[in-house]
Structure 1
Amino acid sequence: MKINIGIEESDRKDITAGLSALLADTYTLYLKTHNYHWNVTGPMFQGLHTLFETQYTELALAVDLIAERIRALGEFAPGSYKEFAKLTSIKEAEGHSTADEMIKDLVKGQEAIAKTARSIVPVADKASDEPTLDLLTQRMQIHEKNAWMLRSLIS
């Protein structure tokens, strides 16, 4: 059945292309944060282990919200490592990192997602897509706060 929600098909496609990149970034950061949760060591272990768990749990919930918005706009959400690898702006973690390196890497990831979300705002705004704008605003707030919290751990 044809979608008739007041947003033109071409605008929906542009918005969902951006949301697909946001989904890929979010899922990639989820994997990275979960990896760091498992593998962090050092004197800050307990605090970082807990912080990383809080952040990856929030990211896991976010991927569902983003994918469901893509579906509500009539497109299929990417859902494979291969698709995410093509779309993400976040590099995968390789090897073993120190706790400080993990924190700095996660700051970059949080900031990257905030930038990806921000890049979609003009497209969603042009189409008067308030639900997407609301989602993007929430994502930017969360990622900017997470980046700040992580940055505050670095001397």
Structure 2
Amino acid sequence: MPGDNTTKALNDSLNGLLADYFTLYLKTKNYHWHVAGPNFRELHLMFDEQATELFALTDIIAERVRKNGGDTLTSIAAIAGKTALKDDDRTKIDAMEMVKVLRDDNAALVTAIRAVKDAATEAGDNATEGLADDWTDQAQQRVWFLTQTLG
């Protein structure tokens, strides 16, 4: 039977995923705001759609932590301390470089989601396991769209 340590490990994993989602959300919005070039409209709209999808999941992930009796991230510093993704403060970046960075970050997110699913299995949290399947599918779709955009 799952114990307190497995639930704590799951909550830690979920908080890391939450930090990754916030980091990727902000990076995607940065690129949305600063993209330029011949594919401006297409990329501007795609980045905005993806950012909206990312942000929508932050509350769901945080609430899984709370439902498991844990505390969620509380600040920008907490996000920065937990994320495995790198910030990108650049405003002048080639549009296709933006696409590559977001593709790679979303692929890393798939790996992080799978780790959450494994932790959920250990903790006996089938609700998080099921959600992780949906999150994986969404991240894989973003990877696919970004990959196809690169040609």
| TM-score with structure 2 setting the length | 0.95
Cα RMSD, aligned residues only: 1.2
* Pairwise CA distance, 1:7: 5.1
SS at match of 2:149: coil
Alignment of 1:38-117 (within 5 A): 38-95=33-90, 96-117=92-113
Partner of 1:121 in structure 2? Answer: 117
| Rounded Cα–Cα distance in structure 1 between residues aligned with 2:146 and 2:74 | 28
| Rounded Cα–Cα distance in structure 1 between residues aligned with 2:119 and 2:87 | 28
2:128 paired with 1:152: no
* Pairwise CA distance, 1:8: 2.8
SS at match of 1:75: coil
Between the aligned residues of both structures, percent identity stands at 35
On the 8 A contact 2:2/2:122 being kept in 1, the answer is: no
| Rounded Cα–Cα distance in structure 2 between residues aligned with 1:62 and 1:7 | 26
* Residues 114-123 or 102-111, more deviating: 114-123
| Rounded Cα–Cα distance in structure 2 between residues aligned with 1:48 and 1:7 | 45
Unaligned runs of 5+ residues in structure 1 are 1-5
On the 8 A contact 2:10/2:116 being kept in 1, the answer is: yes
Q: How many residues align?
A: 150
Q: Partner amino acid for 2:78?
A: E
* Pairwise CA distance, 1:21: 0.5
Q: Partner amino acid for 2:101?
A: D
* Pairwise CA distance, 1:11: 1.7
| Rounded Cα–Cα distance in structure 2 between residues aligned with 1:18 and 1:67 | 11
Give a deviation string over 1:59-113, Cα, whole Å, max 9, x none. 1111010001111101110131111111111101132211001000000111111
